[in-house]
Each structure stands twice: as C-alpha cells, then as structure tokens.
Structure 1
Amino acid sequence: MNTFIDKLSEKLLPLAAKLGENRYLLVIRDAFMLAFPLTMFGSIIVVLNNLPFFSSELQGTLNSLLGNGQNATMSILSLFVSFGIGYYLSRSYDVDPVFGGAIALSSFLILTPFFTTTEAGEEVGGVLTTARLGAEGMFVAMIAAFVAAEIYVRLTKRGFTIKMPEQVPAAVSRSFSAMIPAIITLGFFTLLNALVTTALNTNMHDLIFTLVQRPLLALGSGLPATLVALFFVQLLWFFGLHGQIIVNSVMDPIWNTLMLENLEAYEAGEALPNIITKPFIEIYTVGMGGSGMTLMVVIMMAFVMKSRQLKDVGRLAVAPGLFNVNEPVIFGLPIVLNATILIPWLLTPLVVTTFNYTMMNLGIFPTPTGVAVPWTVPVFFNGMLATNSVMGGVLQLIDLALIAGIWFPFLKALDKANLRDDIATSTTDSVNS
C-alpha cells in the first residue's frame, strides 16, 4: 500500500503543484473572492426577503424595498468578476492593475447587447438587463476579461505608452500611459462585436452561451463530473495539498454560474433548475466539518474511541470542526499520508454526495436556492439557510449518520492499534522504571 502511495505521490504532486501555481487559475480564484463579500450581502438580502414564515404580501413589500441590495450585487456578478480578472491578471504581470480591470470591464460591456425584447416582441434600446450581467453573461465576462487584460499588458510592456514628464502628477501620468493600450484593446472588441453582429446575425453573449457555456454547465451540473472533482479534492488533501483551492479554481466558474441560475429562478418563483451548485458543494461537503466531512469523525474520536491519541486529537478538533475548520484533524490524526484511513477519506464524500443528489432529485429534500452561506456557519443551520427549509438541515443530520457508518470500522481498527501501542509503551516504561 505504501509503495502504491509513494508512486502515486511522485506522479500527482508535480501536477498539483503546477495547477496550484497556474497564473490563470489563481486569477479566477482571486476574481471570485473579490466578489465574495458582495455575493454574501446579496444572499443576506435574499434570505431576509424570503423567510418562510413571512406572508406573501410582506415578502413582496420587502422585495420592493430591499430588492436593490440583491440587484446591485449577486444579479450583476459578471461585472465584478470581469473587473477582478482584469485587475489581478494585470497585477500578476506587474502592470497597473486598476486600468487593467477597467479595460476588462469595458470590453465585456462592449460585447453586451444594450437592448431587451418585451413580451410583445418589441425591442427596447438603451437597456442593460441583469440577465446579461449575471449568470448568463459569466463566461463572456471571463473570456473577454482575460483577452482584454492580455492585450493591455502586452501593449504596455512593449512600450505602446505615452511618457509624461516627471513633474506631472502620478495619477495623470498613469492615465496617459494607459491611453494607447486602452484605445487599441477597446477598438479590437468594438470591431469584434460589429463582426459578430453583422456576419453571424447574433451577439457574443448568445454565441458563447450556445457554444461554450451551455455544454460546460451541463457537464458541471451532472453527478459524475462532481464526483470526479470531489475525488481529486480528497486525494490532493491526502498528500497535504489544499485540494479545494486547486480543484475549485477550475470548477468555481461553473458552480457559481449554476448558483446564479438557481437564485434567479428562486426569485422568480420558478422551479430550481440545478441541484449541483456552489452552495450544494459548500454546504453538503465542507459545511459538515470541513473538507472530507470530518465533524462526525472528530466527535467519534473524542467520545467513542478509547486510545489516548484519538481522544486527544478529537477533543482538540471538535470546536474548530463545528465551524468547519478541520486542519487539526487533517494534520493531527493525521489524515495526510495515513494509508489506514485512505478508503473512508476518499469514499465518504462520494457516497454522501450521491445520496444527497438522489434525495434532491427525487424531491424528498429541498435543493439549495442559490443563496451563498458563509462556510463557517455550523452544520444544520447552514443547511436551513441554503435551502430556506428546516429539511435542508435534517438532510445533513442523516448525512452525519452515513459518515459515522463509513468511518467507524476504520477508526475502530486504528483505535485498537493505538491501544496496543499504549499498552506496549506502558509496559516498557514500567520495566525501565
């Protein structure tokens, strides 16, 4: 077993390290984290507006009074992501990031239709809809931002800038320096938009949605792709690498877009289109004690197992585990490179996620609404908030029982081995004394 793990480690660690250091994946991660506080505020507004014990009249009143809290945050998430990508990508090249972000945002808007069609089929110009700035426009925003930032950076580094005298204020000098790269970049996107509009008789949003976004969302919303992602999260953690940062940097654009689709449907009173979303992944994996769903594991270690090591580590890890921080058990048990518990570590998230998906797909338990819940909210409460139903928390309690059933035989075996070591150590100490 150890030989297999060593060989796997030799192959996997270099690849994981490269992914973890990839410039573009890091930029995507940082861009979504830039929007995270705004997403959290928008989620709070959605929860307040739709508390289940409020009457429909009160909910309607709250939506009219507080609805802009969501409209100006979660509903236009693509704007913040496009700016964040431009900002962080430019900064990674040591080029003025503020102008990189502004140019990326403007490039995205150039590709965005400024019109909408009414129910009567009438086209109204001069209108930006939240649909284009939310889930529907996410992939256009990301692609446009990356391309725009790359053009801006390369033009800047090759000296296509206006140099101002030293006595000119810094803000003015930076503005002139970015002028030529900005004009060329925005000119490129203007011509691209004109080409797509005239030659293909469509717009970039509809084109990207059909060719790129819809297939990726269909893949990412399925159970098989989700299980593969979770498997690699667990496997990377087993080797001491932060699996979530590495895997989520690839999957977050898909999961976040699916989340926004659910939120839009929830706000419109429609059936939720997706089971797997960012909240589903967060609440029903990390939200039960951290990566690997280890809250029940540390509870069993602290109060069921008998060996001193497991009890001490479990009692130390219970309090952080309640708030979904599980580094104490990952490195204290340890889980890292511990072949004894490799099977439950890899298997548990796959089994529990499959169970949860099935229960939600059958309509037995509610699907997350698209509201983002802070990852530190304890189990049961985060399930309630994510689904706007107490049954979302009940499902987590069932999950904890499943986790206990999977882990118990392996923990018991480890406990017996530790007890034998404790007895041997005590005997040796007695002889030596």
Structure 2
Amino acid sequence: MLLTTFFNQFNQSAVKLSSNTIILSLREGYIALIPFFIVASVITLLNQWFNIADKTGNHVFLNEFNLLVWALFPLITLISFSYYLSKNLQLHTIAAPVLVVTCFCASTGYVYVDSTGINVDNKSGVLYSILMPIFCCYSLRYFSSIKALKLVGISTISLFLRKHLNLIFPFLLVSMLTLLITPYVSELGRFILTSMISDTVATSTFEKVSLQMIMAHTLWFFGVHGDNAYHILAPVSYTDYEVLAGLTSYNFFSVFVLLGGTGCIWGLIIACYLIKDAEHERSIARISAPLAVFNISEVMIYALPIVFNPYFIIPFLLTPILNGGIAFLLIDNGFLVLSSSESIPWFTPVILSGWMATHNWTGIALQLLLIALNVAIYYPFVLANKRLNITGKSLDILVKRYSAGLSVEGQAEQSFASAHSKKLVEQYSLKAVTDTLNSGALALYYQPKIDPTTQKIIGFEALLRLIKSNGEVVGPWFLATLEHNNLMQVIDDFVIDQLEVDLGNFARNGFKPKISFNISPQNLLDGGYKRVVKAFSRYPNQVEVEILESSYIEDFDATIDLVKHLNEHNIECAMDDFGTGYSCLSVLSKLNVNTIKLDRSLLPEHGNSKSVMLYQHLAKICDELGFNIVAEGVENDLHEDVVKKAKIQCAQGFLYNKALPFNIVLELLQKQHKP
C-alpha cells in the first residue's frame, strides 16, 4: 500500500513536471538539435579513425573540431530553446530569440574582444544557455502585456508593423534588467561552485569519482551536455586524475562506467527491446543502437527522451554509480588486472575496450555483467514510462490523415509532452481521442439555414462529424481534448480542405450556396486566416467565418483587424453564439462583422413574455445596426413563432433539419430549384 501511494504521488509529480512550459520547450529545443549532435560526433569519429586533419592541410582545423563544437554548444542551445519557449509562450519566434542572444552576448562575456580578435569563452555560457531564455522570454511576455509600454495603438499602419513597434520598450527593459542582474547571478554561481569544489581541500578519489558521475549526469538530465560542462566548470584535478594505479579517470569512465555512452545506454537499449509492445521505445532504441556501439548516446537522451523525463532520473543516475562502484572494488581488490595504461579512446566499442584494458576475458565479462545489471535497473522504469506516457505515434497518424500540410509538426512534441493531465484518470484522454479518430473518419455535414416565412433554404452551416468504424455518425465530442493539447489546427485544416472540395462540387452541379463554418479562434488569429483566404477568396461572398464572441473579449483589436482583412478578400464573418455570457451591447456598435447569430439560449421557453420581448428587441437592434441575423436552435413551433415575430429572415435548428451529408444536401438543392 505504501509503495502504491508513493508511486501514485510520483506519477502526479511527473505529469506536472512534463507539462511545464519550460520543460516542454527544453525538450523540443534539444530534440531539434539531435541532427547537430550526431553530425558533430560522426565528424569527430571520422577524424579520429582516418586522421583526416594530418593527412591534408586543408582540414587541419578538424583537430580542434570537437572543441569548437562544444564551445558553440551554449549558443546553439540558447537559440533552439529560445525559439521553442517563445513559441509556447506565444511570443514572436524571431524577435524573442534575437533579444535572448543579444542579452546573452552582452551580459555573460561568452563573446569578447581582445588584441587577438573576437573570442569565445564557453565557461561563461554553459549555464546561461538555460537561464537566459527563461528570464528574457518571461520578462518580455510580462512587459509586452503592459499597455503603457505600447508605442502605437489602433492606427492606419499594418498590424505587423504595429506589433513590432510595440516591442521596443519591452526590449529595452528586458535588456537593462538582464545587464543589471547577470553579474549577481554569476557571483552566486561562483560562490556555490567554490563551496562544492576546491583545489585547496584534500579530496579522496572516491569522492572525485562520485562527484563527477553525479554532477555530469545531473547536468545531462537538465539538458546540459554534462560531460563537457563538468570539464569546463570543474578544476583539472577533478577531471584528470588517477582512479587507481595505472588507471586514469578517462579510461575508467570510458571502459567500465559509461557503457554505450552517458547513462550506460546499452542497458536502456536492451531493456527497451525486452518490453512487449513498447513500439515507441523500440524505435528509438533501433536508431540509437548503431551509435551506441561507439558510445554516442545523444539520440536516446533527447529522443526517448531522458532529458526532463522523471521516469528515468533514478536509473540514469543509479547505473553509472553502480558500474563505477563494482568496477572500482574488483580492480582495487585484484579480481581484475589491468594490462595497459594507454589511453583507450572514448568511442571504442564495448567488449573491444574491455579486451584492450585487460587483454583477458575478465574485462569483457565485467562489461557484460555491468550491462546486464543496467538492463535490470532500467527495465521497470522503461515499463512505467511506456504505460504512463502517451507516445507520439497516434498523433503522427492523426496529422497524416487529416492535415494537408506540415504546419502542426512544430506542435507535435508539445502535444506529446502536454497530453498528460493533472489527474491520472485523464492521462489516456488524448490516446482515446486519437484512437477513435484513426479508426473512424471525419466528415463535413451541412445544416440548412431556412427562411422561416417561405421555408426555403438560403444557406448552410458546415458542421464537423465523426463517422465511427461501425457507421454511426456522432458529433465532435473530441474537440475539447484536442484544443487542450494544441492540436485543433489538425481539425481546422481538415474542415478548410473539405469545405473547399465541397464548394467545388456544388459549383460543378450549378449551385453557389452561402456556407458558414467554425475555426479555432486561436488558430485563426495566429495565422490560420491566411489559409482561409487562400482557400475561399475565389468564392466571393459565398463563405462566412463564424467567430466566437469570446474572441473579441480576449483580443478585440486583433479580431477587428482580422475581420477587416477577411472582408477585403470577399470572405464574410459572423459573430457566433451571441448571448452566451460575454455579450455587451456597447460592443455591437464597434463590430465590423456581417452577421450576428443569436444563440439558442436566448429563445424563450413556455412562452416567457420577458424572454420574447428581449429576443425581439435584440433582433431589432442588430437589424438597425446593419447586421444580418441568424436565429440558432429553432427546435419547435414556439421558437419559430418568436423568430417570425422578430422579423428574422434566417433560422436554423432541428425543427427544419439536422446536419446532413453532402449528397443529401445536394438533393435538397436540386429539388428546391426544380421549375
């Protein structure tokens, strides 16, 4: 019972951690850098094997290539992390990273100029590559929200120009704060480091080995290249020393501790293969295995991922400690005799390195024993990760099936990480949605809009439906889950694409019906309007975008500009669900939409005279302000009678028709237009 309680608490903490915006952005940023890590490692290996630099003077710089790569690593990390953090905070994804890089270079001393020219001091950048984006991006978001710091309000200049002019004061304030605070942060860091590590205090070999294993792996877990960062930050006496007589720390870690690379990755790879149905883990293991032969572990660390994955923190720290402790005891007590003190390159494959160190089967046997123990340690944690984390596979299928482009690819990892809810019961909600969507098929149905006086069809609203594998047609119950996981763009893309196809089919049959449709407000404001214009500007005044009333409350100016832009391209707009709680009559005079859709909740029940009067007056106000009016939710004769008395000429609801498939709608139009 105690173990179960602990594990449940751990799961809840893991969910909160993996859903954090900073953690999510770091994971995305480091995954984006995987090609860089692999290419840099391969170039280093090729130079080591074939001695390219010494064989041709044209490539002499390759001797220092590894040093150059890891000197630039803080800057590369900074840019990648800044981009994804600004994206997830809904900041400008170019302006924010530029600000971060500027503050980083100006305040840390990472780049400096002396008599020899422009130089890089990677010691000054290794930790700020994480701290600087966090501080700058969150500060920029805060200052950008202060109206007093905006240079330009609503004016005749473009929205794009206005947005960037309004960044000037926030940029200045963030830069000044960074320059002011950074020296104090640096002093604090130096104080902490000197308190932990000092050349003047006698330290045992065991303490040095333990500190190096724990510090390097902890830095790796937090996304920092732990081995290089530790060698940069720690004194030489803590990075280059003899573990035992004739055994350097370099050989000790390369041959007997980091089997497969940082985190003892061979144990993790084998554990992934042993677990049934662990498709995601196995796929990463298959990619990682060829590189792990040469002790390159970045793919497993960033793609599985291990970085900021609470399910792997224990085995990731425990396996090297176990390997180091067992190897140290066996060598120190004479059970394993080393035959060579020559440096064995870190990229030497396991088994070969064991033989080179001992010239005996005992070295190989020890490596195999340690790998087996690593597998046993990793196995339960891989199993827990597999059971409690939702892999990206079902999301990939969903994107491929319903999205015409790659525009949601940038959010796939975000959805992968943030799919977990705070409650364990909700952890599988996204998986349930994607499984349901992938087993069925999305479709657009059309609900007729009727003139209540003539009973003729005057338009349609396009509504999303799911056709399940058994043929049952259901409403879009899954939208809330997709919106929570930032995947609504997949659905919006499908709706736009399908509506464009159907409009073409209507035209080929001689009809030009006016059709309204919904799109996620956030996607629309974030650039989805461009796709709408591209798809429907060739159907002038035939398409109407329904915009939720809440969009005006959240960003009134941006919504006004958006409607104006769509109108300029002959695409009309309607305010959807007017009267659902956000309504403010004073707003009506400022709106530039073409149509107001009165929500069904405004229709009176049981002949309530006050409700009837309110409905009629709202309709009259909207009409006198020049809006077209649509009565939603007309379900009975009483509703229709109220709508007629309010002189509304367009209504929709179950009294007339439910949403219908395209072929039925086409038949209705053909029937109505028969002479």
TM-score normalised by the chain length of structure 1: 0.54
Matched-pair contact (CA < 8 Å) for 1:104–1:149: yes
1:186 to 175, 192, 197: 175
Q: How far apart, in 1, do the equivalents of 2:64 and 2:55 lie?
A: 16
Compute the displacement of 1:228 (Å). 11
**2:166 partner amino acid:** S
1:153 to 141, 144, 149: 141
Larger radius of gyration: 2
Equivalent in the alignment of 2:489 = none
**1:290 partner amino acid:** L
**2:134 partner amino acid:** F
Q: How far apart, in 1, do the equivalents of 2:39 and 2:169 lie?
A: 37
Task: Name the SS of the counterpart of 2:268 in structure 1.
Answer: coil
Equivalent in the alignment of 1:111 = 107
**1:147 partner amino acid:** F
Equivalent in the alignment of 2:5 = 7
Residues 223, 364 of structure 1: alpha-carbon distance in 2 compared, 3 angstrom cutoff = farther
Matched, 1:92 2:88: yes
Q: How far apart, in 2, do the equivalents of 1:115 and 1:151 lie?
A: 26
Q: How far apart, in 1, do the equivalents of 2:66 and 2:48 lie?
A: 12
Equivalent in the alignment of 2:191 = 211
**1:101 partner amino acid:** P
Equivalent in the alignment of 2:261 = 283
Task: Name the SS of the counterpart of 2:150 in structure 1.
Answer: coil
Matched, 1:38 2:36: yes
Matched-pair contact (CA < 8 Å) for 1:90–1:149: yes
**2:229 partner amino acid:** L
Residues 383, 24 of structure 1: alpha-carbon distance in 2 compared, 3 angstrom cutoff = farther
Residues 259, 319 of structure 1: alpha-carbon distance in 2 compared, 3 angstrom cutoff = same
Task: Name the SS of the counterpart of 1:129 in structure 2.
Answer: strand
Please report the RMSD computed on the Cα atoms of aligned residues, expressed in angstroms. 5.5
Task: Name the SS of the counterpart of 1:138 in structure 2.
Answer: coil
1:99-140 Cα distance to aligned partner (Å, 9 max, x none): 111111111101133546xxxxxxx2584423x2x3542113
1:200-232 Cα distance to aligned partner (Å, 9 max, x none): 9xxx76x465235677899x98537857998xx
- Equivalences for residues 43-122 of structure 1 within 5 A: 43-51=41-49, 54=51, 57-58=54-55, 62-64=59-61, 66=62, 73-113=69-109, 115=112
- By percentage of residues, which structure has more helix? 1
Compute the displacement of 1:85 (Å). 3.1
**2:368 partner amino acid:** L
Matched-pair contact (CA < 8 Å) for 1:280–1:368: no
Matched-pair contact (CA < 8 Å) for 1:287–1:382: no
Compute the displacement of 1:383 (Å). 8.9
Compute the displacement of 1:94 (Å). 1.7
Where structure 1 has 5 or more consecutive residues not aligned to the other structure, the ranges are 117-123, 231-246, 299-309, 328-343, 372-379, 412-433
Task: Name the SS of the counterpart of 1:97 in structure 2.
Answer: coil
Q: Which has the higher contact order (CA 8 A, sep 6+)?
A: 1
Residues 282, 215 of structure 1: alpha-carbon distance in 2 compared, 3 angstrom cutoff = farther
2:229 to 258, 272, 290: 258
TM-score normalised by the chain length of structure 2: 0.37
Residues 70, 404 of structure 1: alpha-carbon distance in 2 compared, 3 angstrom cutoff = closer
Q: How far apart, in 1, do the equivalents of 2:56 and 2:356 lie?
A: 19
Residues 216, 50 of structure 1: alpha-carbon distance in 2 compared, 3 angstrom cutoff = farther
**1:189 partner amino acid:** T
Matched-pair contact (CA < 8 Å) for 1:39–1:74: no
**1:109 partner amino acid:** C
Matched-pair contact (CA < 8 Å) for 1:288–1:324: no
Equivalent in the alignment of 2:322 = 351
Residues 128, 24 of structure 1: alpha-carbon distance in 2 compared, 3 angstrom cutoff = farther
1:146-194 Cα distance to aligned partner (Å, 9 max, x none): 211121111112333344768755654443232221122123334456x
**2:94 partner amino acid:** V
Compute the displacement of 1:95 (Å). 1.9
- Equivalences for residues 315-394 of structure 1 within 5 A: 323=287, 351-352=322-323, 354-355=325-326, 381=349
Compute the displacement of 1:92 (Å). 2.2
1:288-314 Cα distance to aligned partner (Å, 9 max, x none): 1535x538x84xxxxxxxxxxx9x999
Task: Name the SS of the counterpart of 2:59 in structure 1.
Answer: helix
- Equivalences for residues 189-204 of structure 1 within 5 A: 189-192=178-181, 196=183
- Equivalences for residues 167-178 of structure 1 within 5 A: 168=157, 172-178=161-167
1:245-272 Cα distance to aligned partner (Å, 9 max, x none): xx8874332616437749xx9xxx9999
1:309-356 Cα distance to aligned partner (Å, 9 max, x none): x9x999xx999866558x9xxxxxxxxxxxxxxxx9998775335446
1:362-415 Cα distance to aligned partner (Å, 9 max, x none): 99696775x8xxxxxxxx75898xx9x9779x978743344447989xx9xxxx
Matched, 1:294 2:283: no
Equivalent in the alignment of 1:428 = none
Between the two proteins, the alignment pairs up a number of residues equal to 319
Residues 14, 105 of structure 1: alpha-carbon distance in 2 compared, 3 angstrom cutoff = same
**2:222 partner amino acid:** M
Equivalent in the alignment of 1:119 = none
Matched-pair contact (CA < 8 Å) for 2:264–2:374: no
Residues 69, 281 of structure 1: alpha-carbon distance in 2 compared, 3 angstrom cutoff = same
Matched-pair contact (CA < 8 Å) for 1:162–1:176: yes
1:399 to 367, 374, 382: 367
Equivalent in the alignment of 1:340 = none
Equivalent in the alignment of 1:21 = 19
**1:98 partner amino acid:** I
